[in-house]
Structure 1
Amino acid sequence: MDQLEQEVHELRKEMTALRAKVEELTNRLSSLTVTKDLPQFQRRPQPPRQTSYTQQPRQQAPQQSNPQNQARRASYDPIPIKYAELLPILLEKNLVQTRAPPRVPDKLPAGYRSDLSCAFHQGAPGHDIEHCYALKAEIQKLVQDKKN
């Protein structure tokens, strides 16, 4: 029974540490200001991007840029809790808003999982919240805004 008590004690210590991390993250996020009156379908303005090109002959047709693929390649700061735990906190503090479910494309993208659903996309199938690049991008923007 001593080993069980020791394990319980260790778990309590871990829970206390996790709660402290959640509280710290919540305090950081609560100081952020986000305009909550914008309709969900509006996008935030982004600064124009400058791209320099080197002139080389191309043998392939240029590929169109896909913002969704760019979001997947972006790097995100690590967070101390799961996105599923963080989303309700951010929603309560009006720091993010859920998004309307996207329509299911005729040709399903690679990695599409009809058995998973995303709370950020109001239960839309295709991925879970831990793999929701739209939510990760929103949280990364909050983190970046806080750093600036």
Structure 2
Amino acid sequence: MRDSYDYLHIRPKDGESLSLWFTRVIECAISDSKGRQGRIRGALHDLERMAREEGMAEGRREVQQLMDTETARLGKRITDLELMLRGSVSKIDAEAERQEAARAMRNRCSDAAMDYGCVPNNTSEAIYALPLPKPLFTQTVRPK
């Protein structure tokens, strides 16, 4: 059996599309084969295979480009969220500070109601006996 048509000597020109190069290869195959259909058919099958591979490669390039743009967009979003997270306070920390502020406010009011600034009386004792507010943000406590 004869080898299929060898068209490696026909190189694609710079910027030439695949379809134009295929046309040049088929023209050369027709002129060289002197009407033998086997060579032309072999060249057409090879070129069809190459076109299929080129299409798959183009599809892979498009998918890779889409993945790169999505990865860049999501990376930017992650960076923005990390920046926002750095400036925020956790619920546990916020609740601890809220409770500490309520305790300090109760103690300050109790101290202000004392006689002569240091002698407890009924009013200061009643203020000191007031309960702290219930947790607003969370019921959990910081793990030790």
- Say whether the fold is shared (TM-score over 0.5): no
- Could you say which TM-score interval applies, normalised by the shorter chain? under 0.3
- TM-score, normalised via structure 2 length: 0.26
Structure with bigger helix share is 2
- TM-score, normalised via structure 1 length: 0.25
Tell me: higher relative CO, structure 1 or 2? Use CA pairs within 8 A at least 6 residues apart: 1
